[in-house]
Structure 1
């Protein structure tokens, strides 16, 4: 009796185990074949991967070009591909050696240890011309190919702009739950334009060389290598940026030369507010998450650059300005032993950046209207994000700069009733935070006579065949701007910063371009300062608006001024060279 019970229980246990095993097999082979386990492993892909060797020529992801349609962030690198089965057959190694300059003996030795395709380019000492590539492919040697392989530029000057991609099945499924056809190895954008345009850049098909092997790595279907190409005439797309590659490389080289550890620059087309170049330091390193921050899109303490807002408010509100201000006094009206400015009028106060003039002016303005400072900051585009946003297909608010952060003027409205808080705000301290992008765009706005425009960094999305999928229109920023009269007065003040014999921008007098702008030194409260210079040039016919900032520096001298100077000088040289 006991034996029968044991047999029943044993049989039931075995039956349950069989059911569990069958369920597990069904889960693996039928149900979750494309998303197995906690890591969503694609079992079909892994199975195919075990019996194939492949060389990815192009993963099919879209790419970026500059305003002249030159590649940005990626390039086509010539590569020589040798498949491992070559070590088991006779093939004309000597002919290949004659073309490449790589010895036949070296090629043979490399193949002996190869268990996957060898991909050889400049890093391996093989630099192929287009003619050499054609000659290699004309030999029609099985397992030998000369290809152009899509690659990322490691030292690309625009890396912060373009951004980082990587594999993340979780992010992929979260962003695109309906795109079941996408491989778990599909690259997604994590920063920069790669993130902004990610859905447009997703691959339609890959281009690769494919070779089937058995369990020992031997040819499964002979020695034929299959070429799988993307035949779609529309994809992958290209995002045509507004960047000028020549200018971008030049700007990055100048910022690097001055050893800026943190900071950078934004250079805009003054007529359109299109980004010509943008540099952020520290340089982008995939392994260093701190370097992923684009400081040009992050609000910073602007210092005296913000006095431009106070000047605009005083001019447009009709405030009666004094004939003289005692610039021997500090920002709070107390005697300052370190100041030797003396008595200045409003114009020279702006040129020499006298704090007392602007703190007392701000105090008068705010007593008349507590909203004056933020109102005119808004009229100059400093109270909202400046990057292009709008409707693009099913996106209601597509942003070209998804990492751009919002600026701020006041943290506590009660500060408007405290003179010392108003004084600090007037000179761009306290809670004032402005992105370098917005500072450059403010200068472009003034240069245009007060017309506010959103900043563009992408001109259009182009199909593979060159036709336009979508063109990003120029768009005005929301809200009122300053009047043309106020803009004209600000242009005069910004020019005085350079032409006044004691102006903070007087060193720019020796440039080929006439420069207008405003300097700024912002105290951070951590024994460091932010050094700024923002302006536009040529003053009489503005083409460029430029903001440069060195963040968290302890240096007495301003690298920001030096970088501004060198960029303007180099742009003049480039313009002269192009007209010859």
Structure 2
């Protein structure tokens, strides 16, 4: 008996090892099951739900931009967009090929977009603003394109195309990196459009609103079957601008007319200001671009048209273009000389055609003989201003230029404003390691040499002369609304300083500017018979890389200023002929010349 048991025990040896192997396998499976269900259960449950449920984002309507009279300048409209959420791994080459043909989007572009996808829950916009034909073709082949959806979402719309493009800026689709940065705000999704430039960028957080979502049940191909839950989006804040739509149209039409005639093809910048508040009435830069291109997804050809243009269509020249002020700077030189008693209003200075100390001459080689201050300003006589610049000296010229606001940004609520440059001995020494000469002072006194201003700075300088020395911060947004239409924020005129120049000096400068637009002035022929008395100043600024730039700055009416205009035409030559017609067109629109009769104070009544 004992021998039989021992024999059996010895025979069970191999099975004993199999027994322990089976126990080990069951132990591993049990531990794995506990890991999947207890530790990672919530994660895998969400994946399973993700195969059945999907959150479809609902884009918020961006806030509307209105002009000062309530006209819509920038809005949004419904559009079809194609989005992609991976449902069965990456998109195949066949699917890319099919989708490329349906959307009219290059395969490479689609491949780049899908390659950047990090989440299987966040939709990626492949194409926006689809036509009805494209939508129909996609729906017909829906089964071949898993993860593709077509939804109706609001899209940014610029009804006037290129008008004020550099002011409004443009919007673009949010990318993965930006989405991660903004996700904490709980207001963005993969279909969000964010501001990239101009006011769209400056006020993006207010204009954008908060995206919503709807949870839908989907089938195996990812197509929605039933909506289960919805969170409505919250629209963005509406913004009211100080711009006047009709004046803006007139400005840009006049700019385009000059370009069509061959003047200003390199670039034009223009701005109109209310001198009594600092409100921007119109602002434009040429060349320009169409921000609608970016809204729907810019094509390679459109991008090349912008990017390859050597004149930089996306630059807002009004705030970012820095130019020698030319003879418009004579307002500053004159103010300094009169205030410092370096010249009296009636003192006659002899112009022989060249200065007697340095052989520097008038631009046209003319000699005007004995002239006083207002005559010299009206005729833009260089020799006269060389002399009073010599008397004032570069240090005081620098001081007065800064007093007028040169050399620092105006503070307008737009990104990219430049500061310009005020000429000084220190600047030349630091940057060129050279001594300062009398000829440098002469150049500075007539707005040449190292002096640089933006067109907006030039407008604000004239505004200070026109309104009696009040320095305002220019502004372009007058009000931001709450969702119910009540004011969220109101922007009132902001005085930032007072020009320390006497009324008598400003009166003399204004008189000289008035004479510019009269028969004997440099713009007399342009404004002959004009029903509003205009005060202006022409300027021709040397440009070492081409033809001279043309300036015209003006305000009107002379006795009761209501509008200030500054126009710079790159390589336009004489300011009266290149920039003057643009100024005149704007004044005709502003005062309704031809359709209105004007009171003595410059206000308008309809003609009978």
Determine the structure 2 residue equivalent to 1:70.
Answer: 71
Query: Are residues 151 and 423 of structure 1, via their aligned partners in 2, closer, same or farther at CA, if it must alter by over 3 Å?
Result: same
Moved more, 555-564 or 484-493: 555-564
Shift of 1:186: 2.8
State the alpha-carbon separation in 1 of the partners of residues 585 and 202 from structure 2.
31
Query: Are residues 270 and 414 of structure 1, via their aligned partners in 2, closer, same or farther at CA, if it must alter by over 3 Å?
Result: closer
Shift of 1:386: 1.6
Matched, 1:382 2:406: yes
Query: Are residues 76 and 483 of structure 1, via their aligned partners in 2, closer, same or farther at CA, if it must alter by over 3 Å?
Result: farther
Determine the structure 2 residue equivalent to 1:343.
Answer: 369
Q: How does 1:78-157 map to 2 (within 5 A)?
A: 111=136, 114-115=139-140, 151-153=157-159, 155-157=161-163
Matched, 1:240 2:237: no
Equivalent residues of 2:355, 2:387 under 8 A apart? no
State the alpha-carbon separation in 1 of the partners of residues 205 and 133 from structure 2.
44
Query: Are residues 313 and 59 of structure 1, via their aligned partners in 2, closer, same or farther at CA, if it must alter by over 3 Å?
Result: same
Equivalent residues of 1:511, 1:565 under 8 A apart? no
Query: Are residues 175 and 427 of structure 1, via their aligned partners in 2, closer, same or farther at CA, if it must alter by over 3 Å?
Result: farther
Equivalent residues of 2:62, 2:75 under 8 A apart? no
State the alpha-carbon separation in 2 of the partners of residues 238 and 348 from structure 1.
50
Determine the structure 1 residue equivalent to 2:164.
Answer: 158
Residue 361 of structure 1: which of 388, 392, 399 is its match? 388
State the alpha-carbon separation in 1 of the partners of residues 543 and 133 from structure 2.
62
Matched, 1:524 2:532: no
Determine the structure 2 residue equivalent to 1:84.
Answer: none
Residues 90-111 of structure 1: per-residue CA shift (max 9 Å, x gap): xxxxxxxxxxxxxxxx999984
Shift of 1:466: 1.0
Equivalent residues of 1:328, 1:342 under 8 A apart? yes
Query: Are residues 555 and 183 of structure 1, via their aligned partners in 2, closer, same or farther at CA, if it must alter by over 3 Å?
Result: same
Residue 405 of structure 1: which of 418, 425, 429 is its match? 418
Residues 31-79 of structure 1: per-residue CA shift (max 9 Å, x gap): 9x9xxxxxxxxx99xx79996888x6x53333322212322222547x7
Shift of 1:538: 1.1
Structure 2 residues not aligned, in runs of 5+: 1-27, 82-130, 143-150, 295-302, 429-434, 597-603
State the alpha-carbon separation in 2 of the partners of residues 549 and 318 from structure 1.
32
Matched, 1:458 2:459: no
Shift of 1:319: 1.5
Determine the structure 1 residue equivalent to 2:196.
Answer: 190
TM-score by length of 2: 0.68
Determine the structure 2 residue equivalent to 1:139.
Answer: none
Residue 319 of structure 1: which of 334, 342, 350 is its match? 342
Determine the structure 2 residue equivalent to 1:294.
Answer: 316
State the alpha-carbon separation in 2 of the partners of residues 199 and 406 from structure 1.
26
Query: Are residues 255 and 382 of structure 1, via their aligned partners in 2, closer, same or farther at CA, if it must alter by over 3 Å?
Result: same
State the alpha-carbon separation in 2 of the partners of residues 381 and 487 from structure 1.
16
TM-score by length of 1: 0.71
Is the partner of 1:449 in helix, strand or coil? Answer: coil
Is the partner of 1:258 in helix, strand or coil? Answer: helix
Query: Are residues 374 and 116 of structure 1, via their aligned partners in 2, closer, same or farther at CA, if it must alter by over 3 Å?
Result: farther
Alpha carbon RMSD of aligned pairs, Å?
Answer: 4.1
Moved more, 480-489 or 209-218: 209-218
State the alpha-carbon separation in 2 of the partners of residues 49 and 151 from structure 1.
35
Is the partner of 1:563 in helix, strand or coil? Answer: helix
Structure 1 residues not aligned, in runs of 5+: 1-14, 34-42, 82-105, 118-144, 389-399
State the alpha-carbon separation in 2 of the partners of residues 237 and 490 from structure 1.
44
Residue 418 of structure 1: which of 431, 437, 441 is its match? 437
Equivalent residues of 1:275, 1:457 under 8 A apart? yes
Determine the structure 2 residue equivalent to 1:309.
Answer: 332
Task: Please tell me whether Structure 1 or Structure 2 has the larger radius of gyration of its CA atoms.
Answer: 2
Residue 503 of structure 1: which of 522, 526, 529 is its match? 522
State the alpha-carbon separation in 2 of the partners of residues 503 and 447 from structure 1.
19
Shift of 1:358: 0.9
State the alpha-carbon separation in 2 of the partners of residues 497 and 521 from structure 1.
14
State the alpha-carbon separation in 1 of the partners of residues 415 and 134 from structure 2.
50
Shift of 1:187: 2.5
Shift of 1:437: 0.7
Q: How does 1:214-233 map to 2 (within 5 A)?
A: 214-216=219-221, 220-221=225-226, 229-230=232-233
